[in-house]
Amino acid sequence: MFINNKMLLLSFQKINLMQENSFLGKDSVPDIIPTNDEKTFALLAHVLTLVAPILAPLIIYLIKKDESKFIAYHAKESLNFQITLFVIVFILVITIIGILLLWLVGIASLVLVIVATVRASEGKLYRYPVSIRLIK
C-alpha cells in the first residue's frame, strides 16, 4: 500500500512538472518524444541567436520545417522572439530615455535564450513569455 501511494505521488509530481508556467516562460512535453538530432537543431535555433539573431532561426526553420514539428516549433518561437526584441530595441533607440534601458533588454533576452536552450535540450516545447506571434 505504501509503495502504491508513493508511486501515485511521484506520478502526480511528474504530471505537475510537465507544464510549467513562470515569468521565464511556459514549457510542456511534446506528444512525440524528439530524437537527439531534433533536440540539437532545436537547441541551435535558440543558441545561435547570440551570433545571428534573426537569420539563424529563420534558416533552421526553412530547412527543417517539413522534417520535424519539434524543430519547426522551436525555430518559430525563437524567430518570433528575435523579431519582438528587434521591435523593442528599435522603439527604445527612438526614445532617448529608452537608450538607457537597452542593457536590461540585453540581459533579459540572454537569460530567456539560455532557458529556451535548456528546455529544447530537455526535449520540451518552450514558449517565450514576451513574444509577438507573427509566424504561426
pLDDT number for residue 4: 44
The whole model's pTM is what?
0.79
* Beta-bridge partners for 127: 26
pLDDT number for residue 19: 56
pLDDT number for residue 14: 40
Q: Which helix (H) or strand (E) holds 40?
A: helix 36-47
Low-confidence ranges of the chain (pLDDT < 70): 1-23
Cα 99 to the center of its chain, rounded Å: 26
Contact 61, 48 (CB under 8 A): no
Give how far Cα 76 sits from Cα of 8, 15, 107, 133, Å.
Answer: 36, 26, 22, 9
C-alpha cell at 61: 526553420
